[in-house]
Structure 1
């Protein structure tokens, strides 16, 4: 009889913890979506740092997902902490009226930048 009660209690405890994990995951996704909405409302763009070693390319560019196609920006003042390929960021920038340093990215000056959690 004791072993049946023990088994029942064990099953009850395991099933409760599984529900908690599912709820925590759902809450994290909702929080991330809310944070993204706030960042966009505050004027931030979503981007990914891309590192390149080719001569004709800039060493670091930011890939921005546009409404139709992705486009690339050449940050002239990218902080050393963000010079990692694949780094997901939120950023604000100002366009620059200067000649392009690389073929496919337009030069910009970063005004604000943060790591992105997603």
Structure 2
């Protein structure tokens, strides 16, 4: 009975420590996200498409909008990659219907 109580207590303590570490990580992630936003960066996810007539690579924003970029570097052409980037709008026709054209000023892996 004592062993069972001791084991239960140990498991409970480990679970509480795991929750603290998870909470600390969430707070740190939020802090980093706020810092990037304050620096003028936008968070997005690289999306690959092999559908005919669609842009091969686009950046999907958290609000559901898509951007296309002619100057997306090969290092960032990975489906599902989280990125932080700064951009400016471009005055040209869209290559695909779902995405607005932008010029990438700076891009970092998220």
- Partner residue in 2 for 1:37: 34
Uncovered stretches (5+) of structure 1, i.e. residues with no partner: none
- Partner residue in 2 for 1:50: 47
- Partner residue in 2 for 1:78: 72
- The CA RMSD over aligned residues, in Å, is 1.9
Once superposed, which parts of structure 1, at least 4 consecutive aligned residues long, lie more than 6 Å away? none
Match 2:107 to one of 96, 105, 113: 113
Cα distance in 2 between the residues matched to 1:59 and 1:14: 49
TM-score (norm 2): 0.84
* Equivalent pairs, count: 110
How many Å apart are 1:15 and its aligned residue?
Answer: 3.4
- Partner residue in 2 for 1:98: 92
When residues 8 and 71 of structure 1 are mapped into structure 2, their CA distance, relative to the original with a 3 A threshold, is: closer
When residues 111 and 10 of structure 1 are mapped into structure 2, their CA distance, relative to the original with a 3 A threshold, is: same
How many Å apart are 1:59 and its aligned residue?
Answer: 0.3
Rg larger for: 1
